[in-house]
Structures are given as structure tokens and as C-alpha cells.
Structure 1
Amino acid sequence: MSLPVTVGVDGSPESIAAAEWAAHESEIRGAPLLIVHADEWAGAASPGVGPDARCRRADELLAETAECVRRQHPALEIDTRQLAGPPATALAGAGAEADLLVLGSRGLSGLRGFLLGSVGMAAIIATPRPVVLVRVPERFTVPVRSAVAGSSRDVVVGVDIDQFFDPLLDFGFHEAAGRGARLVALYGWSIPPVVRDASALVAAEREMGPDIARRLAADLRPWRLKFPSVDLVERSCVGGPAQLLLQAAENAELVVVGRRVRGGALGAHVGSVAHAVIHHCAVPVAVIAHE
């Protein structure tokens, strides 16, 4: 049996959008959908509300969410589950047993972007499986566009030719293939800081750019052969990777970033590029753990 696509819900508009995205993803993958609720997802328990009442409320929330999803996806296999234990740990555990974990992320006012709470961030760090974060701005209320010719948007994957990024490409190519979308492999690089004036900057870019483009093309060549039906676009640009990914997201339906799994005293964490994209990208963001 296929591993499920698992989505955490708490009744918020963001979690409803996450559930809808997860349902569409389940259909693309031919996988069942598991809707879960972790107690105290949104914070501390309400004063005076006992465990029995919270359990009943969680059951109602799960049933309502499942029914909402079934109306749009009547053929989809859907199950629900209450999770025990601290929410971050419970969600990470559910994600580890899933093909994919989907969470919602709420918007902030003005240009501040989007907020992923401590529970969501801890769940990302603790699970080795891919995690997708879904927003709910109006223009993205339909999270995945139909995969008919000419209507699909890009799947953008942030890569680094100095690191191992095969897990990101594996995820991105499968997503692009399932949607009939174009895959954009984007690498942002910097000019050495000794370059001071504009003419030297242009010369350095002209000298370094072709070699970087060749290295990126060589890294991507096996993937072109593995996924010949996917339209692959290679982009190696001067600039900060996070800013370039956010710009590319304007024409994307999904952005894929990596987080390195580290041992030692610091433990696992989300790097600066992934952190910036998570908090400022308006389209769904997939975070992929890699060595």
C-alpha cells in the first residue's frame, strides 16, 4: 500500500488550504490522504476545557475537514487520526510515516511575509520526509492548476552545484511530471568580493558565468535523461539564492528548497535560504532534507 500524504489541520483557513493542496497531491500520487490533528496545535489548551471535550472537538474538526475534502475529491481514500503527545513531536512522527507532510502557514500584514510557528518549524526539522507549507492568499486558493497544456506553472528547485542536491531534483522532477509542469533548476552565485567597480563586475561575470553554466548542465544531464518528458530549464544567475527563488516563484506553483541534515552539537536546522523562502514565498514551498 502507498504511504499516505499526511496533512495537519487545526481548523484555520491555512490548514483548510493545506488539506485541499494535500488532497490534490494525493490524487496526483495515487496515494491515500491522512488528515491529522495534534492537540494544542494552535497554542495552549483553553482554560476549563477538559480532555474529553478537546477530544470531541478534535473529532468534529477532523470529520468536518474530511467531509469538505470529500466534496471536491469524492474518489479519494481519506482517513483521519488524532495525534497524542507534544504537537511538534506528534506531527514529525506522522510525517516520518508518510510520503509527504503538509502544513499550513499564515500570512502577516504588509511586506513581512508569512509566519510558520514553532510547532511547524520543529516538525520540519524533526522529520526526514518532505514537508510542504501552504499559504492561503486569494490568488492561490486553487493550489495546483490543472495539468493541461499551457495552463501549468513552474516547479522551481533551488540547487547548489557545490552541494549534493539529488533529493531536491528527485522530488521536483516527480512533482513536475505529475503536473505536466516545467521544472526550473535555479542556482544563484556571487561575484568575489574583491570586485569593486561595474566594469570589473561585468568582466568577472563574463569570465565565470559560462563555466558555472557548464557545471550546472553537467549535474542536470542525468536528470534530463531520466525524465525526458519534463521540460527542464537551467538558470545560473548572479544574486542571492533566496531572492532569486522568490522572484522565480512569481511564475511557479511550487518552490523546492533543501535543508541539510547535520549531526553534532548544532543538530538539524533550516538554513538561511530555506528560512527566507519559507517566510516570504507566496506559493507552496517544499522543504527536502538532504545530506
Structure 2
Amino acid sequence: MERHITAGIDGSSESLDAADWAAWEALRRGLPLHLVHAADEPASRTRLPELDAPAERERTALDHAAMRLSYGHPTLTIRPSRISGPPVPALLAAADSAETLVLGSRGYTTFAAFMVGSVALGVTAGASRPVVLVRAGERPEDEHEDTTAGPYRPVVLGLDLDHPCDEVLEYAFYAATIRRAPLHVLHTWMVPLVPSASADDPEEEKARALTAALAPWHHTFPEIQVREQLIHGRAGHHLLMASTNASLMVIGRSIAPGGEHLGITTRSVIHHVLCPVAVVPHA
């Protein structure tokens, strides 16, 4: 099966910004870009402009997005496709064959939360492949230190040492490689506010566990500059702070036997981080 990046298009400005991010990511990875528009088709036209015009704009959004991106990225192979049906199952099916699925999230101001809609949340919670959420207004230069010609900001990996899964680590290391960016690996933990006298400080043990988890990937990606950081505190807060100078945030999502869900930390991150966030599913 051909590898590719897929972006969901719905005619909104945030989906167009996400598609532009996906185009750059496809170029970085040397892959084609698939643009997918998924929606229930109206049974018929009403001949009332106030009702038909929004549906018509949605139908033409895919063509407009493909044309706009082809002008901006003339060397990129772009393949648009329409899928009739409810957006969440259609996008989940599209994600199955994609290297990464990219969706848009509405942002307000620099420090305001994302407005992540039910479609983006449903797809992120259930996708079998990585999903990247890109906030509205995200620009290519936002990933760089100064201009688009400058070095990339670090890729930040929020790592759960209880589940240091290969899928998440590989995604983060490769994302840093194609950007020639440093990788900042962050692990946070919480301990009781008043530990018992016999309680051990977990920092030394966690430092060994973090080094062990990253060791094989240092050998696979020896050119990547990796910064390891252990912080006591809430993961969501510290990941938010780390995102202020990141080109991309990478976090994992456990595929639970009981069904599709997003954990508290994952929800906090996707609603509040200040850069694109990749949610990588793992067993």
C-alpha cells in the first residue's frame, strides 16, 4: 500500500490551515497528499439560496483546497477524494490507510484553548494511525526559530515511562529527523505531597528508565540531539509550557480493550497546546 499523508477538508478556515500543514509534512516526508472531504450528501436541492449556498460551498471546498495547495506546492502530488457518509467513520476509514491524518482545530488567541469539535475528538479517539491536530492560523514559519529559512523549533515528546511504546518513540524521532530539529523528551510524575519516611525518591529510578527507553533510538537516529527532562508535577501543565517553543508535540494514546477514549492528559494537551499535536495510538 502506498504511503501518504491525509488531510480532512470541510470548507472551514481551520481545515485549510491543517491541509497546508499536511502539505508541508508530505513534502518533508517525500509522500503524496490525499485530501478527503467526508459529508452526508443532501437528498436534493431546495432552490432556496440561503439553504443551498452552504451545501454548495462545502461541495466545492475540496476542489478549491486542491487548487490552492497545488499552486503553493507545485512539486507535491495531491489527490482529492469525496466520501459520502458521516464524517467520523469516513475519516476513521481514511486514517487506516494513511501514514498520518491531519485535522483542523479552531484557535482563538495565543493562550486560549483550542475549540476541538466532536468530529476531531471522535476521530482522534478512534483512529488506528497517528492524528495531528492543527489550530487555525498555524503558519509554516511558526515551526521555525525566526523565518521559514531558519532552524526548526524542537519536537517535544511527552513520554509515559509506564508505556514507552515503540510507535510513539519512532514517530517523535522521525519527526525530529525530517525537520533536523532537536528532540525534547519530557516525563512528568506525581508523588504524595506528604510521603512516608520510608518512601524513596523516584527520580533516580525514573532517570534510569528514561535513559533505557531512549537508548535504542539513539542508535537508530544518532544525528538527533536529544534532551531528557524529568519534572515533578502535572503532565498537562508542563507539556503546555513546553509547547510554547515547539514545532510539534507528540503524545501517545493507549488503545484500550474497552473502546475508544482519550485520557485526561491527552484531552488537556489537545485543547491547550500552542503548536500542532500528534496523537499516536499504541497497544
Q: With structure 1 as the length reference, what TM-score do the two structures score?
A: 0.86
Q: Give the deviation of 1:193 after TM superposition.
A: 3.6
CA contact (8 A) 1:105 1:114 kept: yes
Q: Give the deviation of 1:185 after TM superposition.
A: 0.9
Aligned twin of 2:144? 145
Aligned twin of 2:188? 188
Q: Give the deviation of 1:192 after TM superposition.
A: 2.3
Aligned twin of 1:93? 93
CA contact (8 A) 1:58 1:82 kept: no
Distance across 1 between alignment mates of 2:80 and 2:207 = 47
Task: Report 1:195-234 matches (<5 A).
Answer: 195=195, 207-234=201-228
Q: Give the deviation of 1:101 after TM superposition.
A: 0.3
Deviations, residues 146-194 of structure 1 (Å, cap 9, x unaligned): 9999621011111111123221111000100000011111100112243
CA contact (8 A) 1:36 1:82 kept: yes
- Answer yes or no: is 1:120 the counterpart of 2:120: yes
Q: Percent identity?
A: 40
Distance across 1 between alignment mates of 2:119 and 2:45 = 21
TM superposition outliers: structure 1 runs of 4+ over 4 Å: 44-47, 52-59, 108-112, 146-150
Distance across 2 between alignment mates of 1:110 and 1:184 = 22
Aligned residue pairs: how many? 280
Distance across 2 between alignment mates of 1:59 and 1:3 = 26
CA contact (8 A) 2:156 2:183 kept: yes
Q: Alignment partner for residue 48 of structure 1, among 39, 46, 53?
A: 46
Distance 1:101 1:283, change over 3 A: same
- What letter is aligned with 1:243? H
**3-state SS in 1 of match to 2:261:** coil
Unpaired runs of 5+ in structure 1?
none
CA contact (8 A) 2:129 2:281 kept: yes
Q: Give the deviation of 1:30 after TM superposition.
A: 0.9
Q: Give the deviation of 1:2 after TM superposition.
A: 3.2
**3-state SS in 2 of match to 1:101:** strand
- Answer yes or no: is 1:79 the counterpart of 2:79: yes
CA contact (8 A) 1:137 1:282 kept: no
Q: With structure 2 as the length reference, what TM-score do the two structures score?
A: 0.88
Distance 1:142 1:47, change over 3 A: farther
Distance across 2 between alignment mates of 1:240 and 1:54 = 43
- What letter is aligned with 2:46? G
CA contact (8 A) 2:6 2:98 kept: yes
Distance across 2 between alignment mates of 1:87 and 1:278 = 20
